[in-house]
Structure 1
């Protein structure tokens, strides 16, 4: 969808030439989010702005859907690219509806069509059109204004969106909420997005691919997991930080690590049965108790089962928590640490037990990816 070929920008100053972007060559497949990441002044924002010619390139080409954009009128190019900036840039003298429909009106859409589009987008960004469309930007919070900025960029249904630190000015709580809502939107809309960020955690969360920039050059373009497991050089490794293994917790789903081999008891089982089953499965501390619907309802401790007679239903304790198959390992780790436990039962969309996840399994899974990357990096080259 987006292809950059040797895209270069040289700024002329009184002190001489400054190369802001140096022969950037990269591709972003259709429907993916590519995060441009790097330290300040590395060329990521300049590269973004050259795509819609806010900054004219010195040399090189930009292709969108295979078309060389150098032959397009600047106005036509920009109207087909959604653009969202950190400062939002809403028109203060226009209502929210007028802000959202600015580009469709320029394109000549009839009133019924662009008004319906505005209401549709308000639903997409989870803001009631009946409440907000007739308000002005000054009547909205910063987070609400940012959502309107996204809606405005989507108004003409552009195939490409450029986003320049769009959530950078929002407080951390609202920022996480808007990021989540945007990702849900993207699952449905499948836009092709270039997204500038300075936040590594945001890049890992939001990006299908991450492009690392340094001093105007593209250093590495990889999927987040590959980037964290196999940084190309010492700069990328240091930029990602010493905790890059922990950052992978956000990328891996519980379903990737779950073990379906889990021992359980029912409320009607005796404590002797619970103790025997714990021995069979090698459980040292407790065993999960499930009801007739295979839903988790508690756990039976070994200390109770070994000293007491009776039934599990009369001697169980509350669970430390459960984890959904689609949750991240980061969430699983957080629950384990908070509840001082080394395992959690895993549940599906219906709340039924489908396995368990342990700290050991998570450690082995994460470590295996790094060990594989290390073996690849040190393997001797082979030739014909």
Structure 2
């Protein structure tokens, strides 16, 4: 959907020319989020702004859906690209509805259509249309204003969106909520998005691909997993941080590691039966008790089963934690550490036990992937032109 072909920007200064973006070539496939990542002054925002010609390129081309935008009318180009910035840029003298519908009005939409679109978008960003559309930006919190900025960028249903650190000025709690809501919207909307960030965790969470910049050059363009497993050089490695292996926990879902080999007992089983199953299973020091719907009902420990007689229903402990199939390994690891356990029962959407995930499996998976990619410094993605 977006192709940058040797895109270059040179700024003339009193001290001579400064190359802000140096022959940037990359492809962003349709429906993907590409994060432009790097330290301040590395050229990522300049590159973004050349796409909608807020900054005019010195040389090179921008192609959107195969069409060279060089000769395209600037206003037409910008009206077909959604644009969200950190400062939001809402018009203070306009209501929220008027802010959202600016571009649809310019495109000639009729009143009924653009008003309905505003209500649709308010529902999409989890804000009540009746409560907010007639308000002014000054009556909203910073996080709410940022959501309106996203809604305005989506108003005319553009195929391409550009986002320049859109969530950077929001507090961590609201930022995480908005990020999650935006990713849910993206699953439905399937936009092609270029997104500037300086936050590595945000890039890993939000991006299908990550482009790392340094001093105006595109250093590496990879999927988040490849980026963390195989940084191209020492700069990328240091920029990602020493905990990059742990960052990969965010990228792996529990369903990828769950095993259905989980021993269980029922409330009517004896503690002797529970101990036998624990011993047969091997390395676990407890066993899960499930109810008639196969939902977690308690835990029987090895020490309890060895020293006590009776039935499981009379001697169980509370299940410390469970994990869902669509949760990531970071959450699983956090729960394991918090509850001092080496395994967690996994449940489906109905809360039924469908297996378990272990600390050993997580370590093995991440280690194997890291060792496979480590040392492979070849460009892992043909979308970047070397």
Q: TM-score, normalised by structure 2?
A: 0.97
Q: Write the distance in 1 (CA, Å) between the matches of 2:338 and 2:303.
A: 22
Q: Deviations over 1:181-219 (max 9, x none)?
A: 000000000000000000000000000000000000001
1:24-103 → structure 2 map (5 Å cutoff) = 24-103=24-103
Match of 1:307 in 2: 307
Match of 1:345 in 2: 345
Q: Deviations over 1:257-289 (max 9, x none)?
A: 111111110111011100111111014521111
Match of 1:226 in 2: 226
Q: How many residues align?
A: 378
Q: Write the distance in 2 (CA, Å) between the matches of 1:26 and 1:178.
A: 28
**In the TM superposition, what is the alpha-carbon distance from 1:121 to its structure 2 partner?**
0.3
Match of 1:365 in 2: 365
Q: Write the distance in 1 (CA, Å) between the matches of 2:114 and 2:252.
A: 40
Q: Write the distance in 2 (CA, Å) between the matches of 1:330 and 1:272.
A: 35
Q: Write the distance in 1 (CA, Å) between the matches of 2:171 and 2:120.
A: 27
Consecutive unaligned residues of structure 2, counting only runs of 5 or more, are 379-386
Question: What SS does the corresponding residue of 2:178 show, helix, strand or coil?
Answer: helix
Q: Write the distance in 2 (CA, Å) between the matches of 1:206 and 1:374.
A: 24
Match of 1:320 in 2: 320
Question: What SS does the corresponding residue of 2:354 show, helix, strand or coil?
Answer: strand
**In the TM superposition, what is the alpha-carbon distance from 1:377 to its structure 2 partner?**
5.2
The answer (yes or no) to whether the contact 2:230–2:376 under 8 Å persists in 1 is no
Q: Deviations over 1:313-359 (max 9, x none)?
A: 11100011000010010001111111111110001111111111111
Q: Write the distance in 1 (CA, Å) between the matches of 2:284 and 2:369.
A: 29
**In the TM superposition, what is the alpha-carbon distance from 1:8 to its structure 2 partner?**
0.1
The answer (yes or no) to whether the contact 2:293–2:352 under 8 Å persists in 1 is yes
Q: Write the distance in 2 (CA, Å) between the matches of 1:284 and 1:183.
A: 37
**In the TM superposition, what is the alpha-carbon distance from 1:251 to its structure 2 partner?**
0.5
Q: Write the distance in 1 (CA, Å) between the matches of 2:373 and 2:183.
A: 29
Match of 2:130 in 1: 130
Match of 1:22 in 2: 22
Q: Write the distance in 1 (CA, Å) between the matches of 2:325 and 2:305.
A: 30
Match of 1:277 in 2: 277
Distance 1:122 1:377, change over 3 A: closer
Deviates more, 1:36-45 or 1:288-297: 288-297
Q: Write the distance in 1 (CA, Å) between the matches of 2:252 and 2:32.
A: 18
Match of 1:381 in 2: none
Q: Write the distance in 2 (CA, Å) between the matches of 1:316 and 1:182.
A: 42
Match of 2:209 in 1: 209
Q: TM-score, normalised by structure 1?
A: 0.97
2:158 aligned with 1:169, yes or no?
no
Q: Write the distance in 1 (CA, Å) between the matches of 2:280 and 2:123.
A: 53
Q: Write the distance in 1 (CA, Å) between the matches of 2:377 and 2:72.
A: 44
Question: What SS does the corresponding residue of 2:63 show, helix, strand or coil?
Answer: strand
2:156 aligned with 1:156, yes or no?
yes
**In the TM superposition, what is the alpha-carbon distance from 1:374 to its structure 2 partner?**
2.4
Deviates more, 1:285-294 or 1:322-331: 285-294
Runs of 4+ in 1 over 6 A off after TM superposition: none
Deviates more, 1:275-284 or 1:296-305: 275-284
Q: Write the distance in 2 (CA, Å) between the matches of 1:14 and 1:337.
A: 57
The answer (yes or no) to whether the contact 2:231–2:377 under 8 Å persists in 1 is no
Consecutive unaligned residues of structure 1, counting only runs of 5 or more, are 379-384
Distance 1:326 1:76, change over 3 A: same
2:118 aligned with 1:118, yes or no?
yes
**In the TM superposition, what is the alpha-carbon distance from 1:373 to its structure 2 partner?**
1.0
**In the TM superposition, what is the alpha-carbon distance from 1:306 to its structure 2 partner?**
1.0
Match of 1:243 in 2: 243
